Chain A
Amino acid sequence: NAGVMQNPRHLVRRRGQEARLRCSPMKGHSHVYWYRQLPEEGLKFMVYLQKENIIDESGMPKERFSAEFPKEGPSILRIQQVVRGDSAAYFCASSPGLPSDEQYFGPGTRLTVT
Chain B
Amino acid sequence: RKEVEQDPGPFNVPEGATVAFNCTYSNSASQSFFWYRQDCRKEPKLLMSVYSSGNEDGRFTAQLNRASQYISLLIRDSKLSDSATYLCVVNDSGGSNYKLTFGKGTLLTVNP
Residues of A within 8 A of B (CB): 31, 33, 35, 40-45, 48, 56, 59, 89, 91, 95, 99-101, 103, 105-108, 110
Cβ-closest 9 pairs across A and B? A42-B102, A105-B43, A99-B98, A43-B102, A101-B91, A42-B104, A101-B32, A45-B99, A107-B43
Closest to B94 in A: A58
B11 → chain A, closest Cβ, in Å? 17
Per the bound structure, the CA–CA distance linking A95 and B96 in Å amounts to 14
Whether B97 lies near A100 (C-beta < 8 A) is yes
- Interface size for B (C-beta < 8 A) is 21
In the complex, the answer to whether B43 meets A106 with C-beta atoms within 8 Å is yes
Contacting residues, chain A, for B44 (C-beta < 8 A)? 43, 91, 105
- 13 A-B Cβ contacts within 8 A? A31-B98, A33-B100, A35-B102, A42-B4, A42-B101, A43-B44, A45-B99, A48-B98, A56-B98, A59-B99, A101-B32, A101-B97, A105-B43
